[in-house]
Amino acid sequence: MNKVVDNADSAIHDVSDGAVLMLGGFGLCGIPENCIAALVKKGVKGLTCISNNAGVDDFGIGLMLQQKQIKKMISSYVGENAEFERQLLSGELEVELIPQGTLATRCMAAGYGMPAIFTPAGVGTEVAEGKEVRNFNGKDYLLEYAFDADYALVKAWKGDADGNLIFKATSRNFNPLMAMAGKITIAEVEELVQPGELDPDEIHVPGIYVHRIFQGSNYEKRIEQRTVRTKE
């Protein structure tokens, strides 16, 4: 099976209106920049996006929010995205905010083929409304269902033509879990190599989970908040 495609446009060619997407990354680190740009260009609408957050106004998922392409966001926080906040408060955008650990574990459950998980996170809060609560050994847990995503869009540092992936530093947040969880996983990588060139001990996601892969380009790698400044 040839998993290598030419570019992001080819990789997302069959993403249609109403699709459920997972988008990897943490803040602005390790986000699938090329795939997001291709989705904006394609103009698909009514999307449900599962992502830790929604980037910023003019970058990442924020670009899709500007174009009103997203019907629902499933995230752990709003982040520094004024458009996300505006659409949330105005009721234009359906938003499900869930604990970050629950978000990660529901991704993991999907990748492991588990239909659901029990977690103590959110018990006794708004998160628990309408959900089953079960007691184990004297402690209450919420039943949370695994995500059911049509596509997982992830960004890796290196990958090979068989789909094996290596992630770097902060981009290992959510990307590996989501790569395992999509019905179709699309990986964009900074460096695409031939099978056998990656050290097996360094691989984070084996290629069996990846359906399409391409070498990305022109990565901005923006910094959400600088914590250093020029010495005066």
Position 113 in a domain: yes
The chain-wide mean pLDDT, for the chain, equals: 93
pLDDT of 224 above 80: no
Region 152-160: mean pLDDT is 97
Q: For the residues of 180-198, what is the DSSP string, one character each?
A: TT-SEEEEEEEEEE-TT-S
Position 200 in a domain: yes
Euclidean distance between the first and the last CA atom of the chain, given in angstroms as a whole number: 57
Position 3 in a domain: no
Position 130 in a domain: yes
Q: What is the CATH number of the domain that holds 56?
A: 3.40.1080.10
Position 1 in a domain: no
For 23-80, write each residue's pLDDT tens digit. 999 888 899 999 999 999 999 999 999 999 887 878 889 899 999 999 999 999 877 7
Rounded CA-CA distance 171/30 in Å is 4
Position 28 in a domain: yes
Position 227 in a domain: no
Position 230 in a domain: no
Q: What are the start-end ranges of the E strands in 98-169? A: 116-119, 133-136, 139-145, 151-160, 165-166
DSSP 146: P
Query: What pLDDT score does 70 carry?
Result: 95
What's the total number of domains in the chain?
A: 1
Domain of 131 in residue numbering reads as 8-215
